[in-house]
Amino acid sequence: MSTNDFFKKIQTSVKEITPEAALKLVSDDTSKLFDIREDREIESGTAQGAKHIARAFLELRISQYAQPKDTIILMCASGKRSLIAAHQLQELGYRDVVSLAGGFDAWKASDLPSCQPRILASHEQSRYARHLLMPEVGLEGQLKLRDSRVLIVGAGGLGSPVALYLAAAGIGTLAMIDDDKVELSNLQRQVMYTEDDLDSAKAQASRHRLQEMNTDIDVIAIENRLNRDNVESIFEGYDVVIDGTDNFNTRYLIADACTKLKIPNIHGSVYRFEGLVSVFAPGVKPSTPCYRCLYPEPPPPELAPSCSEAGVLGVVPGVIGCLMATETVKWLLGIGVPLLGHVLSINALHMTFKKLPIEANMECRWCKSSTEKYPDYAEIQPIACAL
């Protein structure tokens, strides 16, 4: 069969419509328009209202945006690739699929509304190629990550792996708050640093390392001690706050501020061979517990020693930090099931993982009130104690 014969055969099963007809259907919200050109082709513009899915991924990703019963309009550059793609979707069970005659060339020639799509630069497409291949992430998800702002409290054993993986993932703005300096004892677990960083401020050393990893992101170093007077001004404008601290006073301050400000709090903690991970977001997801629902008040210091007192296996913060980074990326992308209402408990010595449910405490004043004043946290410990 010749190419012309092949297209004639497809045209008998696939309806073609004019750009004007396509615009009316999209404007009336009775159909969905998809631009199936490659990324480099849409740099100069696309049809207003069009969703971009590159032809190579159309069959894999169309189910994210359209149902088999929907009216689907496919657009390519000249109208040929969209004919073949429409035929393929019909084979998959999509009943009402049409092709835009003449493609985007005809759309432009008709002087119909166009827009400049948001895209990744060529080097970003190469860097995040494995993300872009995943339907759950793709271009739209990677752009979400680029637009995200994440604050990590504590640039230590937990903050190090979290920050490294979030920088690698392409989080647009990463802020690190820590007022401590790098010590030799940190290097056993705080993989952010090298011997050359000894005696350097952690916030600045982490900023330098993260910026070296990914020059496209913005890294903010905050050499400060978190307290109830500055917590709201520091947290303002961030999409997620990550708790990588090692003392209960600061954990409660983070948790209380996140609840009040309606910011999700990704929590992690370690003790010797064990670790915990959870997500607290009662202000964002009502009826889910906050940190105080799990631990209403801090325990006495003698019952909750820090890692400097009890020790910690160096790799355990790395495992917990990677899980915290995973929960952060999931939250920002809106995919999967976050650890809301659950704590993931890990015992590295026996290599056991347990997912334990936790419930919102109906008597918890922090969940009930958005105007709760911060208590006088006894001797707020410096962020320097971060693992």
258, 290, 293, 307: which is the annotated catalytic residue?
Answer: 307
One-letter identity of residue 200: S
Chain centre distance of CA 52:
20
Question: Which 3 state secondary structure label does DSSP give 100?
Answer: strand
> Could you tell me the two tokens for 191?
């993989």
Please list, in sequence order, all residues whose beta carbon lies within 8 angstroms of the beta carbon of residue 347, skipping any fewer than 6 positions away: 273, 274
Confirm if 84 and 90 have CB atoms less than 8 A apart: no
76 is catalytic: no
CA–CA gap between residue 118 and residue 109 (Å, rounded): 22
Amino acid at 343: V
Q: In sequence order, what DSSP letters do the residues of 28-85 get, joined into one string? A: TTSSEEEE-S-GGGGGG-EETTPEE--GGGHHHHHHHH--TTSEEEEE-SSSHHHHHH
Among the listed residues 349, 357, 338, the one whose alpha carbon sits nearest the alpha carbon of residue 313: 349
Encoded amino acid at 74, one letter:
L
- Residues with a known catalytic role: 307
